[in-house]
């Protein structure tokens, strides 16, 4: 019983925001997971003898538009169905606007890891993250974060890097997080809508290319390094620092072999690989109402995806940094193949960033001596953070 299982559970696809780059929100009926799907999901995930550590990553839409009773039922089911020795973790990704003291106390009491979506300073955040009526959301999100902190819930933040953040550049964003006292955050490139049949090089919207993102992260890393506070954790650097120190990755993108470890579960019970391939039926592997995780793992959809992934890995294996990145995220290649004219398939795109980090760490002596900087965060046991969110 050793396998980690990461489940991005779309508890509801309803949402009170209408973020401009979002592929996740839906309106109308049947957008919320009912008890039969929740019960089947929990029983199948925890009942599989291979699953030693199971993470439920509650996601939406906005998961906090549901009543807390939904999550109380979820943790009750987990307690009833957990196998001896099995580890369970609950995480929740929220837009933060509906977080009040009751929610915060619930998260604290049930040991939920909470990540809040905040796209940096108001000028950037409010450009993308607005309510359905157009009202900006920054002030409400900040209030939600304050409420979590006031109730001693550790908070991390997820920032989507779209063109507004690229235009602003790393320094004001680093300074913003510093001024807000936010020391644990991820920087996620905006993703375009999946178009499975798009020809290579097709232009698209809301696409921050790997080259744009690595340029941004390279400058961000230099700023982080110059600041010199090891208590500031940027998820993307934590993962790379772990790999550069030859430790297991703390994030899915650098761990390799993500197929069969991370699934998206829809309110209907439909199961797909990850949550990044929405709109491409090739990534749907079954439904928890009718199939087991063993049948998803060994079924035709994942078998075909694994074969394609193996071929892609061979194409990248000549890259000198392959040993560090493990081929990086399959969805980055999926998007680059269709929309990035510079994509060759010989490198995942992280080579320059990894080489830069290695060089800078050597120059500062941090790699050898520690020099006040960590060589990546402490290992997290069997849990590997999912970075699609
Ligand atoms: S809060 Fe999340 S689900 Fe809602 S519109 Fe924004 S990105 Fe989409
Ligand atoms: S984010 Fe990328 S590496 Fe992580 S599970 Fe999804 S496809 Fe795999």
The answer to whether residue 375 sits within a structural domain is no
Structure tokens at 375: 């060589």
The answer to whether residue 354 sits within a structural domain is yes
Give per-residue pLDDT as tens, 25-39.
999 999 999 999 999
DSSP 208-256: --HHHHHHHHHHHHHHHHHH--TT-EEHHHHHHHHHHTTPPPSBGGGTS
> Is the C-beta atom of 19 inside 6 A of ligand 1?
yes
Which band of pLDDT confidence, cut at 50, 70 and 90, is reported for residue 382? low
The pLDDT, as a whole number, for residue 346 is: 93
**How wide is the angle at C-alpha 318 spanned by C-alphas 314 and 323, nearest 5°?**
90
How many domains does the chain fold into? 1
The pLDDT, as a whole number, for residue 381 is: 55
Has residue 95 got a pLDDT over 70?
Answer: yes
> Is the C-beta atom of 95 inside 6 A of ligand 1?
yes
Mutating to test ligand 2, I would choose from 59, 264, 276 the residue with most ligand atoms within 8 A of its C-beta, which is 276
Q: Which domain holds residue 7?
A: 3-369
Has residue 250 got a pLDDT over 50?
Answer: yes
Q: Whose CA is nearest to atom 7 of ligand 1?
A: 22
Q: Is 65 helix (H, G, I), strand (E, B) or coil?
A: helix
What distance in angstroms lies between residue 8's CA and the mean position of ligand 2's atoms? 11
What number does the ligand 2 atom closest to the CA of 253 have?
3
The answer to whether residue 388 sits within a structural domain is no
Give dist(CA 87, CA 56) in Å, integer: 11
First to last CA, the chain: 27
> Is the C-beta atom of 17 inside 6 A of ligand 1?
yes
Using a 10 angstrom Cβ sphere, with 0-12 exposed, 13-18 middle and 19 or more buried, the burial of residue 383 is middle
Domain of 227, CATH number, reads: 3.20.20.70
Mean pLDDT, residues 298-310 taken together: 97
Give per-residue pLDDT as tens, 199-228.
999 999 989 999 999 999 999 999 999 999
Q: In what order do the strands lie in the sheet with 155-161?
A: 233-234, 184-189, 155-161, 113-117, 87-94, 51-59, 3-10, 262-265, 270-273, 284-287
> Is the C-beta atom of 21 inside 6 A of ligand 1?
no
Has residue 368 got a pLDDT over 70?
Answer: no
Which band of pLDDT confidence, cut at 50, 70 and 90, is reported for residue 174? very high
Q: CB atoms < 10 A from the CB of 197, how many? A: 7
The answer to whether residue 255 sits within a structural domain is yes
Give per-residue pLDDT as tens, 326-351.
999 999 999 999 999 999 999 999 99
Has residue 377 got a pLDDT over 90?
Answer: no
> Is the C-beta atom of 5 inside 6 A of ligand 2?
no
What number does the ligand 2 atom closest to the CA of 261 have?
5
Which band of pLDDT confidence, cut at 50, 70 and 90, is reported for residue 367? low
How do beta strands 284-287 and 87-94 pair? unpaired
The answer to whether residue 389 sits within a structural domain is no
Mean pLDDT, residues 6-34 taken together: 96
The answer to whether residue 378 sits within a structural domain is no
Which band of pLDDT confidence, cut at 50, 70 and 90, is reported for residue 374? very low
Mutating to test ligand 1, I would choose from 24, 57, 389 the residue with most ligand atoms within 8 A of its C-beta, which is 24
The answer to whether residue 386 sits within a structural domain is no
Helices H / strands E in the chain, number of each:
15, 10
Residues above pLDDT 70, as percent of the chain: 94
The answer to whether residue 339 sits within a structural domain is yes
């Amino acid at each position: 019983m050793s396998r980690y299982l990461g489940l991005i559970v779309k508890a509801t696809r309803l949402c009170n925001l209408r973020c401009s780059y979002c592929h996740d929100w839906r309106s109308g009926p049947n957008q919320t997971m009912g008890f039969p799907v929740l019960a089947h999901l929990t029983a199948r995930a925890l009942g599989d003898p291979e699953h030693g550590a199971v993470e439920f990553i509650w996601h939406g839409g906005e998961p906090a538009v549901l009543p807390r009773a939904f999550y109380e039922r979820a943790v009750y089911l987990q307690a009833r169905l957990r196998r001896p020795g099995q580890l369970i973790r609950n995480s929740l990704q929220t837009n933060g606007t509906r977080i009040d003291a009751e929610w915060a106390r619930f998260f604290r009491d049930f040991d939920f890891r909470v990540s809040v979506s905040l796209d940096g300073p108001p000028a950037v955040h409010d450009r993308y993250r607005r309510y359905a009526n157009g009202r900006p959301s920054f002030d409400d999100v900040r209030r939600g974060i304050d409420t979590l902190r006031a109730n001693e819930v550790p908070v991390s933040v997820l920032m989507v890097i779209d063109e507004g953040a690229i235009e602003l550049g790393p320094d004001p964003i680093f300074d913003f997080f510093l001024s807000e006292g936010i020391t644990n955050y991820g920087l996620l490139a905006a993703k375009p809508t999946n178009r499975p049949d798009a020809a290579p090089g097709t232009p698209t919207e809301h696409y921050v290319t790997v080259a744009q993102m690595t340029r941004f992260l390279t400058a961000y890393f230099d700023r982080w390094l110059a600041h010199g506070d090891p208590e500031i954790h940027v998820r993307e650097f934590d993962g790379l620092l772990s790999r550069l120190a030859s430790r297991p990755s703390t994030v899915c993108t650098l761990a390799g072999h993500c197929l069969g470890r991370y699934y998206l579960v829809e309110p209907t019970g439909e199961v797909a690989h990850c949550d990044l391939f929405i709109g491409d039926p090739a990534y749907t592997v079954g439904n928890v109402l009718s199939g087991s995780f063993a049948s998803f793992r060994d079924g035709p959809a994942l078998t075909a995806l694994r074969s394609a992934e193996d071929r892609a890995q061979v194409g990248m294996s000549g890259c000198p940094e392959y040993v560090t990145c493990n081929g990086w995220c399959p969805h980055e290649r999926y998007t680059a193949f269709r929309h990035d004219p510079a994509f060759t398939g010989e490198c995942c795109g992280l080579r320059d960033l990894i080489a830069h980090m290695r060089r800078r760490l050597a120059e500062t002596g941090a790699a050898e001596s520690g020099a006040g900087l960590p060589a990546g965060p402490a290992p997290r046991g069997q849990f590997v953070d999912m970075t699609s969110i």
